Amino acid sequence: MISTKCGAATDTGLVRRQNEDSLLAQFPLFVVADGMGGHAAGEVASGITVDSFQELLTSGRSLEVGDLAETIDAANRRVFENAASKDSRGMGTTVVGLALISERGQQLWLVFNVGDSRLYRWMDHSLTQVTVDHSEVQELIDDGSLSSNDARNHPNRHIITRAIGIEEVVEPDFWLLPAVSGERFLLSSDGLSSEVSDEVIGSVLAEEPVPEQAAQRLIDLALAAGGHDNVTVVVIDVSADAQSLEDEDTARGLNAEQPANERRVLIDHVPTESFLKGLAEAGDEGGHQ
């Protein structure tokens, strides 16, 4: 079985008056939401969203793709209706999450995101950004008109193209990842990624073995760089018992010849069934070596 150790930290920053970020760090579900709208509206939006996921956990239901998709839809509806009732135009929140789900007896990570809060994966001495920002600068990067380095200083770097609660319908991205012992995940609001480079983030995840210390050090670095925004960080270390070691070898064998940043499956593009078939085939090949 997969188990985790987690450390989380959040800070208002050095410029904002209140912290509009919210988080949930309770195995097997981890969520970071970055609210927007000002005048406490952002705090309300992120709080509603995290509360929606907390309700899913306390319901006792096993986490499945459909349940998580429904929770995102419910959170979007609640924030949208709350904004309309209070005439709080612009009220919304990003959300990024990590959930351990079970499909056909295999434990998999389901990653989801709306907006520019991010999930990174640290494994085999390499940092991979799993999620893709829903932002104007990301669209410029995708069409080749802006480099990743220049994006960090672009005047429109904080303009997002998707958020919870802005429209009646929201379109999240979902990713599936094999669960592997020894991997480390980082969830964060853009208060971290806008202040601290991926290179520095990777070095902290490599150097700080305790999740709580890694999370706090990343917060401190964001503050030292200016702390222009609220910043929230969740660091998750993954381990497995002896019974899971064979499954771990199978997961590591999946797409082993591909670059690390391609060892993920966007559910919208590749059906879950195909992903599970790939896991099974990788395991069969490994068993004959």
Query: At 31, which helix (H) or strand (E)?
Result: strand 29-36
Q: Rounded mean pLDDT of the chain?
A: 84
Does residue 227 register a pLDDT over 70? yes
Sign, Cα dihedral of 138, 173, 175, 265: negative
273-278 long-range contacts (CB < 8 A, ≥24 apart) are: 275/108, 275/176, 276/103, 276/104, 276/106, 278/254
DSSP annotation of 62 reads P
pLDDT class for 89, splitting at 50, 70, 90? Answer: confident
Place of tokens 């509009």: 20
Spatial contact of 120 and 201, defined as CB atoms under 8 Å apart = yes
The answer to which of 30-34, 72-76, 226-230, 266-270 has the lowest mean pLDDT is 266-270
Q: Domains of the chain: which residue ranges?
A: 2-287
- Taking only the tens place, the pLDDT of each residue in 139-198 is 676 676 666 666 666 666 678 899 999 999 999 999 999 999 999 999 999 999 999 999
Write the burial class of residue 243 (CB in 10 Å: 0-12 exposed, 13-18 middle, 19+ buried): exposed
Does residue 63 register a pLDDT over 80? yes
Residue type, position 75, single letter? A
DSSP annotation of 18 reads S
pLDDT class for 98, splitting at 50, 70, 90? Answer: very high
- Taking only the tens place, the pLDDT of each residue in 116-146 is 999 999 999 999 999 999 977 776 766 766 6
Q: Widest CA span of the chain, in angstroms?
A: 63
Does residue 90 register a pLDDT over 90? no
pLDDT class for 103, splitting at 50, 70, 90? Answer: confident
Does residue 16 register a pLDDT over 80? yes
Spatial contact of 112 and 171, defined as CB atoms under 8 Å apart = no
Note the CATH number of domain 2-287.
3.60.40.10
**Dihedrals φ, ψ of 215, to 5°?**
-65, -45
- Got the DSSP string for 171-219? --EEEEEE--TT-EEEEE-HHHHTTS-HHHHHHHHHH--SHHHHHHHHH
Residue with the bigger pLDDT between 281 and 245: it is 281
pTM (predicted TM-score) = 0.85
Q: Find, among 30, 112, 100, 23, the residue nearest to 62 by Cα.
A: 100
Joined together, the tokens standing for residue 77 give: 């509806």
Distance between CA atoms of residues 32 and 128, nearest Å = 18
Average of pLDDT values for 269-282? 52
